[in-house]
Amino acid sequence: MGFDIALLWRAPEVNPITKKARSVPILNPFDPYGRVFFFSWLGFMLAFWAWYTFPPLLSETIAKDINLTTTQVANSNIVSLAATFFLRFVVGPLCDQWGSRNVYAGLLMVGCLPIGMAPLVKDATGLYVCRFFIGVLGATFVPCQVWCTGFFDKNVVGTANAIAGGWGNAGGGLTYVIMPAIFDSFVHDEGMTEHKAWRVTFVVPLVCLLACSISMALLCAESPLGTWSEREQRIRENLATHSLQNQEIADVPGKVTGLRSSEGVLSDEEKGTISGSDKCSGPDNKIELFGREGEASMTKSEAYETAQGETIIKPTIREALPVFMSLQTLFLVCTYGCSFGGELALNAIVSSYFMKNFPHLDQRRAGNYGSIFGFLNFATRPLGGIVSDALYRCTGRNLWSKKLWVTFCGVATGVTLIIVGRVDPSAAEGSSLGLLVGLVALVAIFHELGNGANFGLVPHVHPFANGIVSGATGAGGNLGGVVFAIVFRFMNDGKDYAMALWVIGIMQLGINLAVCWIPPIPKGQIGGR
């Protein structure tokens, strides 16, 4: 079956048990699912822009104004990423506890405070403190992905997560265009001094964050089942509506573990298809199907498994620890640490790299070239998730296909980083600026494909604890960012970008190959398939 373009705006068919959408109405913000999708990516885009408000102006304007050394600039990049690393671990379980929309809007609101205080920075210490607390905004990635996972079903969740994450990540490109442009406007059009202009520039992201957080809280639902606190009762009611006895399901939605016995749950081959869009998943095996108007058809077995394994529960230490410690979570932490961690570290230095290798570039032009790294997210991260979902459907819902796609992206990223670090085009070597731009774009493409591929797999792993898995994976991304930022910091005191690039490439290649053997989900896991 070909792609139906009307799915981009038509009200989606939904899962009869979870009420998750089976398509993504990207172009219809008036639809409840389309509206959640819109604010998912918009909130993260604004948060990412605000998170990276300093780097476009830091190396030249701000460093000169408050007398920063190259080492202090590199240290501030590490501090910014370190704060987000710790917070992402906490935010994941909070999403499971209070609902991702509430956590999302709250983080945006809290992030307004350090952004509003940024104009008061006067020295390196003030910069470290300010960037540390601005790192709160980097944690919005976790509720962005958990919120999407809660509203979109397994057949499209990789695509939804990848597009929301990719368009949000594009805020890293947005900041390199907008911040220098606003700064130049204040200096040249308003007659402000550089000392004052860079400080006033922070008012713009502050207003945008405030407006988005309020709109998100007022206009969007907590979950497709209604309020977050009532989701378990709604699952039971949906089962009863379809004449399914929830007594037949152990612990619905009670305490669930990802390692429970799967006795009584049919295999993928026995289940048949979930919807007409999954034709390549295999023929229906004449098991009873049910579905009402606007709802997808599914087997009773799938309904039981969905209710039992995919209802998010309030986390306890007893249930959270096995999830944190599982090999599958380790795989995601490592691979996302490489893909998103590499992107974070590179995004912080990319304009400085352009100015170092081609000294004729000014701050604004270097920022424009550097923005390519972020803006590619509009296409490449979504493509990573789209390919992940396509492989999943066309291999009979085999999760190994999603996992191997993650590994391929990680290995390719490592190889391209090594190439860029060894070639290192510069004006001094007689190389063209276009060659460096092209190589940086190639590095960005594989990093961002890997980001989308990772969060195409995340919703399948321990689905009852999606917030915990998403938080751990997201924190892994920041851990990678910190590690790679430290590599940049200690290569000739933060000046040898080329050596740092090929060292990071070797690290990424080794890490991805080291974890490639881990199965995509635990043996016997209920739900997520």
Tokens of 205: 């992201």
pLDDT at 90 over 70: yes
pLDDT at 347: 86
Determine which of 11-20, 168-177, 328-337, 409-418 has the lowest per-residue pLDDT on average: 11-20
pLDDT value of residue 298: 60
Which amino acid type is present at position 134? I
Region of poorest pLDDT, from 27-36, 118-127, 303-312, 344-353: 303-312
Q: 220 falls in which pLDDT band (50, 70, 90)?
A: very high
pLDDT confidence of 303, banded at 50, 70, 90?
A: low
Q: Which residue has the higher pLDDT, 105 or 528?
A: 105
Q: Which helix (H) or strand (E) holds 162?
A: helix 157-169
pLDDT of 290 reads 52
Mind listing the pLDDT tens digit for each residue in 110-121? 999 999 999 999
- Residue 344: which residues within 8 A CB-CB, separation 6 or more? 81, 477, 478, 480, 481, 484, 485
CA distances from 409 to 332, 436, 444, 448 (A): 13, 21, 11, 9
| Average of per-residue pLDDT across 285-301 | 52
Model pLDDT, residue 466: 77
Question: Of 131 and 307, which is predicted with more confidence?
Answer: 131
Interval 54-62 mean pLDDT: 89
CA distance 416 to 418: 5
What's the pLDDT at 521?
83
Domains in the chain, start-ordered, CATH in brackets?
Answer: 19-226+320-514 (1.20.1250.20)
Q: Is the pLDDT of residue 445 over 70?
A: yes
More confident residue, 299 or 477: 477
Enter the DSSP assignment of 477. H
- Residue 464 is predicted with a pLDDT of 77
- Per-residue pLDDT, averaged over 267-292, amounts to 40
pLDDT of 288 higher than 50: no
pTM: 0.78
User: Mean per-residue pLDDT for 220-227?
Assistant: 87
212's CB contacts (< 8 A; 6+ apart) are 39, 42, 43, 46, 108
Inter-axis angle of helices 497-514 and 327-357, to 10 degrees?
160
Q: What is the mean pLDDT of residues 337-342?
A: 95
Residue 439 and residue 359: Cα distance in Å, rounded? 18
- Residue 251's region, left for phi above 0, alpha for psi from -120 to 50, else beta, is left
pLDDT at 292 over 60: no
Residue 308 has pLDDT above 80, yes or no: no
Per-residue pLDDT tens digits for 446-481: 999 999 999 889 888 888 777 888 889 989 998 999
What does the block give as tokens for 420? Answer: 């860029």
- HSE at residue 33, side-chain half, CA atoms within 13 A, is 27
Q: Across the chain, what does the average pLDDT equal?
A: 84
% of the chain with per-residue pLDDT over 70: 83
- DSSP per residue, 307-364: HHHSS-----HHHHHHHHHSHHHHHHHHHHHHHHHHHHHHHHHHHHHHHHH-TT--HH
Query: 257 vs 384, which has greater pLDDT?
Result: 384
Q: How confident is the model at residue 412 (pLDDT cuts 50, 70, 90)?
A: very high
pLDDT the model gives residue 449:
96
pLDDT (0 to 100) of residue 83: 81
Q: How many residues does the chain have?
A: 529
Is the confidence at residue 296, as pLDDT, over 60?
no
Q: What are the percentages of helix, strand and coil residues in the chain, rounded to 5?
A: 70, 0, 25
